[in-house]
Amino acid sequence: MKVAVLGAGAWGTALAGHLAAHNDAVLWARGSALIAELSSTHENTHYLRDIALPAALRYEADLAAALAHAAGDDALCVVATPVAGLRTLCRAMRDAQQVPVHLVWVCKGFEADTQLLPHQVIAAELAGHPSNGVLSGPSFAREVGLGLPVALTVASASQACRERTLAAFHHGAMRIYTGDDVVGVEVGGAVKNVLAIATGIADGLGLGLNARAALITRGLAEMSRLGVTLGGHAETFTGLTGLGDLILTATGDLSRNRTVGLQLAGGRTLDDILAALGHIAEGVRCAQAVLALARAHAIEMPITQAVCAVLFEGVAPRDAVSALLRRDARAE
């Protein structure tokens, strides 16, 4: 199958490497310097250092050429840009009149300014596109790049999209499950990043494993309340893209969002942390959107509120935790 991956960050690069083992895969990236490096070394030293990419994987700096590669009904286009770049990329597809037949995205979060989920951005920019969906689940790019086992879910209203995604990805150490709850999968992927920051803060303050378990469990309740209100299915949040992704991101040492929380607890400023990361921590970008949606729908999300207080209001991490502990008792 012909597959184009748009976006050469850590996740896009890892997925392209996996896809190239069984597909005719092209990885598109902005910038001729990065393309030259990828083509000559078969390694993405900035985002996925020390992981060799398959010799069969090809690289493309021309977006039109990458889109043309994935244009057919028997092809697939994978959007691996951050949520912040999704709208711009969709407009470029539309303006070039090169919208792929089958489109799946792997970005997680809410669009900061509009509080829209990725599928809503797609619907706004590519109105009437019939075959698209989201691929998500508990996954670190480095482990996928190393060929370690991983299970993901593709959610789409289109059977054709689910089938193309399954055919492209379900091989080697990667197992793909299918479903149709796009909203639930997207909400899980967005909110778990915010909750991972909270768990990192608690761990950084040395609050113990009891506190970590409480944060993950009560965080799952927050995620589920918001997701069901927005139209997701309750059962989605106990699956791979809800609880599974939350556990991984909140506890795994490779988690950028967890790292943000740990370092905030250690006294570093948010600007310094993000500058040193060199990668995007989506939880920071979408925390305010999550809280705004919760307030708009009168949903209690105290952990999310505490994270936003630390990130954007100058509240000390220990004070935010104390405020959580002072909340009135209630039935679970």
CA angle, corner 304, sides to 224 and 109, nearest 5? 70
**What does the DSSP assignment read for 28-94?**
E-S-HHHHHHHHHHS-BTTTBTT-PPPTT-EEES-HHHHHHHT-STT-EEEE-S-GGGHHHHHHHHH
108 assigned to active site = no
Q: Which of 171, 137, 173, 172 is nearest to 154 (CA)?
A: 137
CA distances from 95 to 25, 61, 99 (A): 24, 18, 9
**What's phi and psi for 103, nearest 5 deg?**
-135, 130
Contacts of residue 99, Cβ cutoff 8 Å, sequence gap at least 6: 67, 93, 126, 129
Q: Which amino acid is at 149?
A: P
Q: How far apart are CA 278 and CA 273, in angstroms?
A: 9
**273, 197 contact by CB (below 8 A):** no
Active-site entry in 192, 256, 258, 285: 192
Residues labelled as active-site residues: 192
